[in-house]
Structure 1
Amino acid sequence: MKRFFKGAICLFAVFLVFSSTKMQVRAEEESRILTGVYVEDMSLGGKTKQEARSMVEDYVDSICGMMITLVAVDGNEVQITPADLGVYWSNEEIIEEAAGIGLSGNVVQRYKAAKDLQFQNKVFELEFGVDESLVRQILTEQCSVYNLEAVDATLLREGDHFVVNGGQTGQVVDEDASVQLICDFFNHNWNRDDASLDLVVKVDEVRGTEEELAKVKDVLGTFTTSYSTSGPSRSANVRNGCELINGTTLYPGDEFSTYEAVSPFSEANGYFMAGSYLNGQVVDSLGGGICQVSTTLYNAVLLSELEVTERHNHSMIVTYVDPSADAAIAESSGKDFKFINNTEAPIYIEGITTDDKHITFTIYGMESRDSGHQVRYESEVVSKTYPDSEVIYTNASLPIGSVSVQSAHIGYKANLWKVVTENGTEVSREMINSSSYKVTPRTATIGVGTADPAAYEEIMAAIATNNIDHVRNVATALAAAAAPPAEGTPVEGAPASAEGAPAEGAPAPAPAPVEGAPIEEPAQ
């Protein structure tokens, strides 16, 4: 009997060894996942790791094309897919775990693992991650367009008093809470089908109460400049820019951008072509003159002692304020004038223009400075550089006699100092900014277009002297000689047209701009 049991044990051991060897060979040579192993409702039995991974990836790709509806403010819907939200399979390691069942441990453990699957399946659940940056981008770009922003209460100055315009509460998507909602949904609640999610919406509260806005009654600062030498187009631009800023209410901590307030520089927004600075030259651009608006506001802000966060000087000196007291805005170079309401109460910006061409900005708020506190600003010219030459350009497309002159500009380096006095005694002197302005020579563009070789030689000889005034005199004489006589008016030599007008069909000479007129940095 003992010999029988010994034989049976030996036979069983041989069987286990044989079975173990067979399972090991199958695991190593075929690497097939055991029957009874699932990922959710997908059977991985009989598949290699790569086959199982590919099957699950295909499934994930398919469900990432499902339709997810995000319900924003006022029931507005945005339809996207999980792929749009950057949903991805986050626990890919389950394939390794599935493939390892029955292949680890000793012979008995591996055998037991395989037998257990005959009675109960091993099911792995998919887990998902979400790209929060993509979620936030969709909320910002697609869902927030339906936000009903609160309308803050504002002020309107009528005569010598203020009228309060009440605001209106709004509703907006709470982006932080909605990002968390979407992530939690895909991590825990998604049934792998189409779904609809109500985004988290919060009330956007109105700023400004009657009590708060009643604090706005004191003049914090006011400043005026003149544009009396400006032509109709530039004058219209100054008035338009002033009107676009007038009536602005800023709450504590608000930042004001002059560029945002007065742009775009287009005819539809009330602008005309007028002189501007560009690369050391005066050119016509839509909105020319707008920098006088920003400069006037800049000085009112300085006197109000609000916090200036961005300011740029012009490329060349301007005439309506002292050096370093200007503030240019230019779309092409990204220049802006910005400031923050750093007081404890709202402020109101009043902008007015007058029939005698003056622009004034006055900033109202709650005065918290002592009555003996005074502030003034002093411009310090550090150096001047004078132009030492003249520049003449020729233009064959313009007729002889056409002369366009741009005045020279002195180069400056200047500082602006803030001087504070208390009860008449100076207590501080602080440099606010330092500015450099280009020196530019006097320039002229001379028309040289003519069919008369002699006239051409004469104008070119004059240009060779590099003397603008001499060239202008020669050009005037040549234009007069080339002009046809008025009908019935014989003139010795080359007759001029009636009242100096060009003959019918002849090109008119380009008008020369007024030298020294205040012209601005380009608005765009």
Structure 2
Amino acid sequence: MKKYRKGFYGILLLTLTMLFGMTAQAKTDDTIKTGIYAGDVELSGMTAQEATAVIEEHIESLKDVEITLLAANDHDVTTTAGDLGVTWKNPELVQEALELGTHGNVIERYKTLMDLQHENYVYPIELDFDLQAINDLLTRCTKYDQEAINVSLKRDGGKFTVVEGQTGYVLDVEKSIDAVYDYLTEEWNHEACSIPLEIVVDEPKGSAEELAQVTDVLGSFTTSYKTSGSSRSANVANGCSLINGTTLYPGEEFSTYKTVSPFSVANGYYMAGSYVSGKVVDSLGGGICQVSTTLYNAVLRAELEVTERYNHSMIVGYVDPSADAAIAESSGKDFKFVNNTDAPIYIEGYTHDKQITFNIYGKESRAAGHSVRYESEVLETITPPADQIYADAGQPIGYIVTESAHIGYKARLWKITMENGVEVSREQVNSSTYKMVPRSATVGTATSDPQAYEEIMAAISTANIDHVKNVAAALNARAAAAAGQTEIVDD
């Protein structure tokens, strides 16, 4: 019995000696115990500084790992983890690894140290990525978006043919950011990988059966531009061609500005006169408002729903007051309407012999005796005052640039509905106000002759442009005679 107690106490003493030895070692050792890893990186025997350096080196090596983002239509994008801003998110694991086996009571610390001799302890390396970098990359990927192209109509030789549509693919940037970030921070094995992006599939609208309903002319209108020069005529024809062939499904809205812009040489436009701040100035696309106005009147006769319309700043000559529809990039003016019928509509536009015509085709659902007409009512006419003349000392006498006068108007447009030849309703469609602009001229006054200067200034003070022109012509003739430059006429 004594021998047994002696042996038991001996083993206990040996065990306690080992435990206290391990404890003492754990308290004084400044290196990481054997069998401890950070991910695939072994940290055994390293100081905290050494472990940090080796993990950072591992993170640095990940920056060159290729990551492919899978988009639609084979427009995949290959980048790297470095480009996506990979960083080490949990550097505190080094201190935790260093302290493993040094906490708890003697038995707990002993158990931890014994466990490490049989099985490695692995701390996960947590990664983070730059959400802005992911967003920027995915935003650039949207250039590969392909909008759905609806099944549409084409009219040629007086007959309609169906043009097949095309499925659209659009990148959902917000959902794709989450998909990329979640995969890289939760599932990535630090090797080259591919990540599917969130793609929205947009099926085209329409079918041949639906488009077969388009057989009737719902509304038509024509205006003339016979007095227009070549540049303005070209702009009218170009804008008309950009609208021609439009198929609009029930409930869809049409924007004239969106369809005919941008106003650039590349888009087929020339410099021509247009209204800007009460003056006629040359601008790219001058004359395009005659296109929107002609379309507006065809839409009114088709009785489609007009959702946005503006009158011109000054009166136009190709339609009655209040029957115009202006578009302007600088002031945000647009002409918009909605297909409020139960069938598709087709817009046909063409020019011929300096006339522009729009026909709107669809399915006629109005009664046989139904018709509409439109009347313009002028509420007020504002006559321009006397001429306005501006002296320009930088130009010589004889230099005169005039701006035509514009009568001001207040007007409104009425829709008169007829059923079997009898008027059943009269509805105001819109009201319009057009600026009054007096005739004006800029007159040169530069001369070395004091008397001529006094005479031209006296003429300007009369506020009569025609008188100023006569005086300027006489002064120039006198100056030419004085210089011996009068014309000699043989008998």
Common fold by TM > 0.5: yes
Does residue 166 of structure 1 match 2:159? no
Mapped to 2, the partners of 1:54 and 1:304 lie a distance apart of: 76
- The corresponding residue for 2:474 is 477
The 5-angstrom pairing of residues 126-141 of structure 1 reads 126-127=125-126, 138-139=137-138, 141=140
Question: Counterpart amino acid of 2:123?
Answer: F
SS in 1 for 2:273: strand
Displacement, 1:164? 0.7
The 5-angstrom pairing of residues 186-197 of structure 1 reads 186=184, 190-195=188-193
Does residue 408 of structure 1 match 2:405? yes
Mapped to 1, the partners of 2:436 and 2:241 lie a distance apart of: 33
Displacement, 1:426? 4.5
Higher relative contact order (CA 8 A, sep 6+): 1
1:223 to 218, 221, 224: 221
SS in 2 for 1:460: helix
Greater CA deviation, 366-375 or 452-461? 366-375
Question: Counterpart amino acid of 1:40?
Answer: G
2:451 to 427, 449, 454: 454
Greater CA deviation, 60-69 or 210-219? 60-69
SS in 2 for 1:362: strand
Question: Counterpart amino acid of 2:280?
Answer: V
Are the counterparts in 1 of residues 168 and 204 from structure 2 also a CA contact under 8 Å?
Answer: no
- The corresponding residue for 1:119 is 118
- The corresponding residue for 2:336 is 338
Are the counterparts in 1 of residues 246 and 348 from structure 2 also a CA contact under 8 Å?
Answer: yes
Note the residue ranges of structure 2 that are not aligned, 5 or more in a row. Answer: none
Residue 365 to residue 60, structure 1, CA distance change in 2 (3 Å)? farther
Displacement, 1:275? 1.2
SS in 2 for 1:302: helix
Residue 387 to residue 60, structure 1, CA distance change in 2 (3 Å)? farther
Question: Counterpart amino acid of 2:276?
Answer: L
Residue 115 to residue 472, structure 1, CA distance change in 2 (3 Å)? farther
- The corresponding residue for 1:82 is 81
Are the counterparts in 1 of residues 170 and 202 from structure 2 also a CA contact under 8 Å?
Answer: no
Mapped to 1, the partners of 2:302 and 2:278 lie a distance apart of: 33
Displacement, 1:87? 5.6
Question: Counterpart amino acid of 1:279?
Answer: S
- Tell me the alpha carbon deviations over residues 459-512 of structure 1, each in whole angstroms, 9 at most, x when there is no partner: 122223433333233223323434565653289xxxxxxxxxxxxxxxxxxxxx
Mapped to 2, the partners of 1:135 and 1:119 lie a distance apart of: 42
Are the counterparts in 1 of residues 416 and 423 from structure 2 also a CA contact under 8 Å?
Answer: no
- Tell me the alpha carbon deviations over residues 88-144 of structure 1, each in whole angstroms, 9 at most, x when there is no partner: 666677567546634554443344334422332211334556677765764563475
- Tell me the alpha carbon deviations over residues 339-382 of structure 1, each in whole angstroms, 9 at most, x when there is no partner: 34343332211113332x43221211123344465555565666
- The corresponding residue for 2:489 is 489
Mapped to 2, the partners of 1:416 and 1:48 lie a distance apart of: 88
The 5-angstrom pairing of residues 19-58 of structure 1 reads 23=26, 34-45=33-44, 56-57=55-56
- The corresponding residue for 1:442 is 439
Mapped to 2, the partners of 1:379 and 1:49 lie a distance apart of: 88
Note the residue ranges of structure 1 that are not aligned, 5 or more in a row. Answer: 492-524
SS in 2 for 1:117: helix
Question: Counterpart amino acid of 1:236?
Answer: A
Residue 83 to residue 328, structure 1, CA distance change in 2 (3 Å)? farther
Residue 416 to residue 96, structure 1, CA distance change in 2 (3 Å)? farther
Mapped to 2, the partners of 1:232 and 1:334 lie a distance apart of: 27
Are the counterparts in 2 of residues 139 and 175 from structure 1 also a CA contact under 8 Å?
Answer: no
- Tell me the alpha carbon deviations over residues 140-160 of structure 1, each in whole angstroms, 9 at most, x when there is no partner: 634753x7776554323345x
Q: What's the RMSD between the two structures over aligned residues? A: 4.5
SS in 2 for 1:327: coil
Mapped to 2, the partners of 1:311 and 1:298 lie a distance apart of: 8
Question: Counterpart amino acid of 2:159?
Answer: F
Does residue 328 of structure 1 match 2:343? no
- Tell me the alpha carbon deviations over residues 446-468 of structure 1, each in whole angstroms, 9 at most, x when there is no partner: 13344433323321222234333
SS in 2 for 1:118: helix
Mapped to 2, the partners of 1:67 and 1:296 lie a distance apart of: 57
- The corresponding residue for 1:261 is 259
Residue 335 to residue 84, structure 1, CA distance change in 2 (3 Å)? farther
Mapped to 2, the partners of 1:389 and 1:366 lie a distance apart of: 54
Q: How many residues align?
A: 483
1:280 to 272, 278, 281: 278
Are the counterparts in 1 of residues 441 and 465 from structure 2 also a CA contact under 8 Å?
Answer: yes
Does residue 394 of structure 1 match 2:379? no
- Tell me the alpha carbon deviations over residues 155-211 of structure 1, each in whole angstroms, 9 at most, x when there is no partner: 23345x323143264674765797677556535654423345677889875554332
SS in 2 for 1:476: helix
Residue 77 to residue 420, structure 1, CA distance change in 2 (3 Å)? same
SS in 1 for 2:360: strand
- The corresponding residue for 1:245 is 243
Mapped to 1, the partners of 2:228 and 2:122 lie a distance apart of: 83
Question: Counterpart amino acid of 1:186?
Answer: L
Residue 173 to residue 240, structure 1, CA distance change in 2 (3 Å)? closer
Are the counterparts in 2 of residues 173 and 202 from structure 1 also a CA contact under 8 Å?
Answer: yes
Mapped to 1, the partners of 2:329 and 2:9 lie a distance apart of: 98
Displacement, 1:215? 1.0
Are the counterparts in 2 of residues 144 and 173 from structure 1 also a CA contact under 8 Å?
Answer: no
Residue 465 to residue 192, structure 1, CA distance change in 2 (3 Å)? same
- The corresponding residue for 2:64 is 65
Question: Counterpart amino acid of 1:489?
Answer: V
Residue 383 to residue 61, structure 1, CA distance change in 2 (3 Å)? farther
Mapped to 2, the partners of 1:187 and 1:252 lie a distance apart of: 46
Percent identity, please: 54
Mapped to 1, the partners of 2:276 and 2:25 lie a distance apart of: 86
- The corresponding residue for 1:499 is none
Residue 444 to residue 149, structure 1, CA distance change in 2 (3 Å)? same
Mapped to 1, the partners of 2:360 and 2:132 lie a distance apart of: 41
Residue 255 to residue 183, structure 1, CA distance change in 2 (3 Å)? farther
- Tell me the alpha carbon deviations over residues 256-275 of structure 1, each in whole angstroms, 9 at most, x when there is no partner: 33234333434454433221
Are the counterparts in 1 of residues 150 and 165 from structure 2 also a CA contact under 8 Å?
Answer: yes
